[in-house]
Amino acid sequence: MEALLEKIRVADQVTWRRWLHQHAELSFEEFETTAYIENLLRDVPNLTIERPAPTGLVATLHGAHPGKTIALRADIDALPMVELADVPYKSINPGVMHSCGHDVHAAILLGAVFALADMRDAIHGDVKFIFQAAEEMPPGGAIALVEACVLDDVDQIFGLHVFPMTKTGTVGFSYGAMTASSDLFDLTIKGRGAHAMAPEQSIDPITIGTEIIQSINNMIARRVAPTEAALVSWGQFTAGTVNNIIPHTAHIKASVRSRNPQVRADMERMIRDIIEHVTAMYGAEYDLDFQKGYGSVMNAKEEMDLVLDTAKELLGEENTYPMPQLMAGEDFSAYTEIKPGAYFGLGSGLAEDGYEFVNHHPKFIVDEDCMPVGSAMFVKIVENILM
């Protein structure tokens, strides 16, 4: 491990990460981030840089010998949040923060680029480094790269995600469906407004909305097997302006998650049926926008075996841990739908050491000592496949 860490530009990695953190940009708006990364990579020998999308880039290192093509991916976008973390490199872009760790992911991948570029003469094949835009906003940046044929020549793909409240530098592994599919729906219920003293003259969209919510919750409890992961979370229910007026409309926003493709399809069908029948029962109309989001990240056995063996080789078995299946969404799924791959966790600090805030929290911070470990994992995975 020590010999491999010597190949990682650790001090530069901290500089890169902190610059990216300070200049956080939202999904599909990562122009300055992309320019910064491209400028760092422009003079690396034997590296081809492509811009298949307006933001983000793909850099390909051409090995000295023929062989497979391995892809390594990092996401680069931030979230629309006000940063509350007490760090000297706080975001200078108001209301935008790297609260998920994508700045760390990008710095980890940059570390791998420079280390592998120095090892190019021993590489049998090519390595694609994907700095992907817009993981946080459906439809996500991954699907655009798939449609641009970036993965057509790729044999295997690997990615990682930092997680606080986990020992720095440990590696988490998971087989099969690691994350959930994540769909969204926006519902507008069109009733009839009336004075509060005469509810019989109304078609009350608030009453209808509450019945829809309750019916969908009951549907999950009674129509989906308890052994299956199925979740509807209610993000917004808005209606009305004052106490004594029954409003004309109500608006509901929700997130729908599952890990089984059949359950995913069944949930959409049942949600549509409930909305249609409940609104009809009250004589209301509705507009429903059901948006298909990300699928589940599916970790292939061979690729996850490789990740786990690599982690044991580098860090020791005691620094690996089985990850629970997550109900989070992640657009790395667009890659694993068409290519065998593995997505693994990287510990980035224990709570007792000050890293107690989860991803997407306004006080989210990571232990930067995890970064060279992540880069070493990427480099060793490539070594084990292409050298």
Residues within the annotated binding site for Mn(2+)? 100, 102, 136, 161, 360
Strand partners, 344: 160
CB count, 10 Å around CB of 102?
28
Catalytic residue among 286, 294, 335, 355: 294
Question: Is residue 355 flagged as an active site residue?
Answer: no
Gap between the Cα atoms of 118 and 124, Å rounded: 14
Catalytic residue among 211, 228, 268, 368: 368
Q: How far is CA 46 from CA 59, 109, 114, 126, 132, in A?
A: 10, 17, 11, 10, 21
Q: What is the 3-state secondary structure (H, E, C) of the chain?
A: CHHHHCCCCHHHHHHHHHHHHHCCCECCCCHHHHHHHHHHHCCCCCEEEECCCCCCEEEEEECCEEEEEEEEEEECCEECCCCCCCCCCCCCCCCCECCCCHHHHHHHHHHHHHHHHHCHHHCEEEEEEEEECCCCCCCCCHHHHHHCCCCCCCCEEEEEEEECCECCCCEEECCEECCCEEEEEEEEEECECEECCCHHHCECHHHHHHHHHHHHHHHHHHHCCCCCCEEEEEEEEEECCCCCEECCEEEEEEEEEECCHHHHHHHHHHHHHHHHHHHHHHCCEEEEEEEEEECCCEECHHHHHHHHHHHHHHHCHHHEEECCCCCCCCCCHHHHCCCCEEEEEEECECHHHCCCCCCCCCCCCCCCCHHHHHHHHHHHHHHHHHC
Q: Is the dihedral of CA 34, 39, 40, 46 positive or negative?
A: positive
Question: Is residue 294 flagged as an active site residue?
Answer: yes
* Those residues with Cβ within 8 angstroms of residue 198's Cβ, 6 or more apart along the chain or in another chain: none
Annotated binding residues: 100, 102, 136, 161, 360
**Catalytic sites, residue numbers:** 294, 368
